[in-house]
Structure 1
Amino acid sequence: MAKESYKLCKNCGYKNDLDNERCDICGSEKLVRFDLKGKNKRVYFSISLLILAAVLFYLFKPEKKNLEKKVDDVGIFVSENRPINYYTYLRSIKQLGYIKDPDENDERAVIRAMGYDDEDLKNAAVETIKKWYKSTKNKKYLVYIDSGH
């Protein structure tokens, strides 16, 4: 069984008894006392705290249902099977107006935004189509401008 307390020789590393003033191996007086009782208590206390924390986490872990944020004020839209925030969607529609040559996907997103009941979203979509008309002079955008406002 290992010693619970001893004096360690700094020269050779031998574990001497507590009553020795000199090392039994090299005769050095550079002995340092080590008490393992206190260290063992700290280790056991740390392990017990870890186990207690794991048990408490298991007992009181949050359910997935509670983790979902439910915000009634902010609408959620689905774009390509991913939900996005209303404000993000509105900003995206406005930013699409800066595209010089919009493709079919851009046009579809803006036309879909015109179909919602929200006035801010409709206005942003119409403004985007107006910008596209000014930059491309494509007359197909006139149909949407007339129907939007």
Structure 2
Amino acid sequence: MRAVLQRVSQASVTVGGEVIGQIGPGLLILVCAMAGDIETDAEALAQKVLKLRIFKDAAGKMNLALKDTGGAALVVSQFTLAADTSRGNCPGFSTAAPPEDAEHLYLHFAAALRDHGTTVAIGKFGADMDVALNNDGPVTIWLES
């Protein structure tokens, strides 16, 4: 699985003019299941996200993890993280997991975060979403399981 994490002061996702998920301080997580990924990949990625020390401590150093801060996560599916741009100008997405597998893994990833006490909001799989955020830092991290 692939993910892009953005440390945010707030983030929301809107579908059809309706806000379906929003958080205050925490992480906006754009996630993509790749072909061949399984549930343990989603769980491993969730563990990495929970333990990644990218939040400021009292001294202003990035030394705290999401689980230390009590921050929330907004998880949004984004198959375009599988883009292959190595040939030509039209990205290919053949390395992304099939939609039915991808949706299951996306929801499993969100559930794995939730199972460890993190407040989680989600987008709508396969929908055309409007994602708004205030990037804190800015801090943006790319991960792959």
TM-score by length of 2: 0.27
TM-score by length of 1: 0.27
Would you tell me which structure has more strand in proportion to its own residues? 2
Largest Rg, 1 or 2: 1
Q: Which has the higher contact order (CA 8 A, sep 6+)?
A: 2
